[in-house]
Amino acid sequence: MRVPLNWIREYCDPPLDTAAIEERLTMTGTKVEAILHHGVPSAENFVVGRVLVAEKHPDADKLKACKVDVGDAAPADIVCGAPNVAAGQTVAVALPGAVMPGGMKIKAAKLRGLPSNGMILSEQELEVGAGSEGIMVLDGLTVDAELAPGTPLAEVLAISSDVFQLEVTPNRPDCLGVYGVARELHAATGAPIAPEPWGEDPGTDGPVAGAEVHVECTDLCRRFTARAFADVEIAPSPPWLKARLMASGQRPINNVVDITNYVMLLTGQPMHAFDLDRVAGARLTVRRAHKDEQITTLDGQVRTLDEEMVLIEDADGPTSIAGVMGGERSEVEPSTKRVLMEVANWNGPNIHRTSWSLGLRSEASARFEKDLAPEQCSHAQAVATRLMIELCKARLMPGTIDIADPTVSSPPIHLRERRVQAILGMPVPLERQAAILGALGFGVAHAADGLEVSVPPERRNDVSREADLIEEVARIHGLEALPATLPARRGAYGRLSPRQQARRRAVDALVGRGLFEVFGWTFTAPTLFERLRLPDDDPRRDAPALENPLSEDHALLRTTLLGSLLDAASRNVAHGIADLRLFELGTIFSLAASRPTGEAALSDTGVHEHQALGVLLSGRVTPVTWGSPSPPRADLFAVKGVLEALADALHIPLECQTGSQPFLHPARAATVTSAGRDVGWLGELHPLIARDWGLDGAAVMEITLDQLLVEVPMRTYRDVISFPALRQDLAVVLPAGVPAGDVLTVVRSSASALLDDVRVFDVYTGAQIGEGKRSLALALSFRSPERTLTDEDVAPVRQRIVAALSELGGELRG
């Protein structure tokens, strides 16, 4: 909210400069987000002048040569281009040396041969009004026309003001009005506060002749008040009022509309002026809208409403959307004679919903949506009535329409003196507590061990408990004085769970292997499943959906990390970075009760969440150097190498078996298992999928970590140092279709405990061994914790291995 500082100072004027006031407000909870400046940079050299002579310039048709009394011994010569300048006017003058709002400096000059020692100003030039029809005439309507020439202009008009841009928290709608901010400043500085501007109300109670209001939905409209005014003279507002509105960021329109805006800015309570003669039937009805009912708002737009929105109608139909925006039909216009001033209280959340769903936010809705107190209606009526009489020469008609729920009363709150220190960790003396609450407008009485505090209506929503009062005391007393201590931390010892440790180890292993971690979007597009060629019954199509996505591309929660990895890769390739080693560790979601890849995390939402790890390799797996200008490109074995590194880092077995995925190369894909359980997949991306994302091939993998991380074992020592291992090689020729994994499994299961390790170190196919055959060279390592093994020791084991291999169709080679 924009608040001119000089307006605040009218109610509370501490002997502090702008920066000090900003600091006090910010540190007591009303954050000053920015200090703006409105009007001229400095009031110096701006004075009141009186036009003594205004004659046509001899050499220019549109200019006038004026002599203006600016309080000096001799009148100033000023050449003026405004059509309305005339002798006898009291005007605003910028003398040489004055600096205009845009930074232009006024200098003595010659215009078409005549000297001009200053400038007669328009409202717009001073930023005190929007009118540009010539110069501003300070006549009796605006300020005292008998002002002595030479009087500093700033004494008559707010031509230079600091303006605070305030961040008002949603619990403090009372600070959406200048007086509320002034009260905060009063509490924060101790400077006196002027009486409430609504203290004197010229109005009376009772029915209003010739106007009627009916409220059908008292649940959404808790109070509706209206007053009628006759003999209204619609005119521009006086400069002081225009200047205030301008500095607050509002455009002056006419005195009646300006009064409604001024009252809202001052009290925080929005209000609306109807042209009573254009209220059909002189009767207003407040009701819920019908479904798809339409209304044209003040901004000329046709709005379609629903049954949860409230409108105000007269005999001819809807005139405004309650609490949000008025309609065109009964708007105040220059010919208006009779005005109905409406001040109502609307249900905050309902207004919030209406304004958001219509995309229509106004100063009024921004206040109403925070739930104002019904009592505030009276504040606004009182101030507005006074101004209507004063500025519009209006005649107040007797009575006030007042449709109200019974006033809510809130019981006093007990504040224990000790409790303040117990919560804050610093002492605040009881008298200080009482003084703070009093300054904030609370009623304070002493009680046995503290205070009895009653809450003013406009704070009722925010303050209802002892804790709320402690906050009030704390923020005004000042949190700067808080010491910095640490809690006792009884029984607290910081640690990561084994699962968290394992996850860190996984990340570190991958980073150490040269992979880059990416953070993709949780959101995914329904079209992803088509692009990945997932069949209709694939459980990954069963993705949780958002009710209100930002876009169709973000409509679902992802069921695989592959989409975001491909997107990341695609983006990089498009930017010329083709060698990619990416991984992502993130949550994937599923609706299926159980997924094949792991056990669902416990959930009370019906949506299962899994920690998944995805890897994408594309392009060259190691950097190009002058020594190795063409390193290998990412393939199945590159991504399997990553899997093995991960398995190694976590000390968990991860195996690959021939498998398939709709988005993978049909012959270069694997299912990843751990202890026989399916935990994911890896392989080379199907070329058509790669092409879809603009990639020149990629090797990818995804595994679900949930269960794996829990299973990371505790390691115990194994003696592999006292006695050396015995190493032997074995080359076996097998039918080409026998997977190496099966061979290793057979070797392991047929060998005794003496076999420590077996791995494939060479693969050969060729004429030497014949068509349809493949030779695998195995490195066997035998070990005993008790002695050094000899060839004789392992000979029987080796025989068993050979026998078992022959059952797979294997023969020892050469």
Q: Tokens in use for 693?
A: 């994302």
CB 731 within 8 Å of CB 743: no
From the CB of 533, what's the least distance to other proteins, in Å? 24
Nearer to other proteins, 128 or 690 (CB): 690
In the list 92, 264, 532, 557, the residue contacting other proteins (rule: CB under 8 A) is: 557
In the list 233, 517, 729, 791, the residue contacting other proteins (rule: CB under 8 A) is: 517
**633 contacts other proteins (rule: CB under 8 A):** no
Q: Which residue has the tokens 């090689």?
A: 729
Binding window for other proteins (CB under 8 A); candidates: 289-297, 407-415, 467-475, 710-718: 467-475
Cα distances from 520 to residues 275, 586, 670, 699, in angstroms, run: 57, 8, 24, 18
**485 contacts other proteins (rule: CB under 8 A):** yes
Separation between Cα atoms, residue 568 and residue 573, nearest integer Å: 9
Q: Tokens in use for 113?
A: 């041969």
**432 contacts other proteins (rule: CB under 8 A):** no
Q: Tokens in use for 402?
A: 């007042």
From the CB of 481, what's the least distance to other proteins, in Å? 10
Quote the Cα angle for 537-541-545, to 5°. 140
Nearer to other proteins, 335 or 630 (CB): 630
Residues 310-329 that bind other proteins (CB under 8 A): none
Separation between Cα atoms, residue 160 and residue 92, nearest integer Å: 14
From the CB of 20, what's the least distance to other proteins, in Å? 15
Helix (H) or strand (E) holding 706: helix 706-711
From the CB of 398, what's the least distance to other proteins, in Å? 33
Residues 679-698 that bind other proteins (CB under 8 A): none
**350 contacts other proteins (rule: CB under 8 A):** yes
Separation between Cα atoms, residue 723 and residue 307, nearest integer Å: 85
From the CB of 470, what's the least distance to other proteins, in Å? 6
Pairing of strands 283-288, 212-215: parallel
Binding window for other proteins (CB under 8 A); candidates: 36-44, 266-274, 350-358, 785-793: 350-358
Q: Which of 108, 104, 101 is nearest to 79 (CA)?
A: 108
Nearer to other proteins, 628 or 749 (CB): 628
* Per-residue binder mask for other proteins (CB under 8 A), 486-505, x = binder: xxxxxxxxxxxx--x---x-
Residues 191-250 that bind other proteins (CB under 8 A): 217, 219-220
Nearer to other proteins, 467 or 763 (CB): 467
- Alpha carbons within 13 angstroms on the beta-carbon side of residue 675 total 7
Q: Which of 174, 161, 196 is nearest to 29 (CA)?
A: 174
Residues 581-600 that bind other proteins (CB under 8 A): 581-583, 585-587, 589, 591
From the CB of 459, what's the least distance to other proteins, in Å? 13
Binding window for other proteins (CB under 8 A); candidates: 38-46, 266-274, 377-385, 543-551: 543-551
* Per-residue binder mask for other proteins (CB under 8 A), 42-81, x = binder: ----------------------------------------
Residues contacting residue 221 through CB under 8 Å, at least 6 positions apart:
215, 286, 310, 322, 344, 345, 346, 347, 403
CB 654 within 8 Å of CB 644: yes
Residues 730-789 that bind other proteins (CB under 8 A): none
Binding window for other proteins (CB under 8 A); candidates: 150-158, 452-460, 573-581, 739-747: 573-581
Residues 249-308 that bind other proteins (CB under 8 A): 308
In the list 607, 725, 731, 779, the residue contacting other proteins (rule: CB under 8 A) is: 607
Q: Total number of residues binding other proteins (CB under 8 A)?
A: 106
From the CB of 127, what's the least distance to other proteins, in Å? 24
In the list 360, 507, 746, 754, the residue contacting other proteins (rule: CB under 8 A) is: 507
From the CB of 219, what's the least distance to other proteins, in Å? 3
Separation between Cα atoms, residue 742 and residue 325, nearest integer Å: 76
Q: Where are the alpha helices (DSSP H) in 485-541?
A: 498-512, 527-531
**575 contacts other proteins (rule: CB under 8 A):** yes
Separation between Cα atoms, residue 114 and residue 98, nearest integer Å: 20
DSSP for 195-230 reads: PPTTS------S--TT-EEEES-TTTEEEEEEEEEE
Binding window for other proteins (CB under 8 A); candidates: 55-63, 138-146, 406-414, 508-516: 508-516
Nearer to other proteins, 91 or 561 (CB): 561
In the list 205, 536, 537, 547, the residue contacting other proteins (rule: CB under 8 A) is: 547
Separation between Cα atoms, residue 366 and residue 388, nearest integer Å: 25
Cα distances from 610 to residues 122, 379, 534, 703, in angstroms, run: 68, 57, 20, 10
Residues 351-390 that bind other proteins (CB under 8 A): 352-353, 356-357, 369
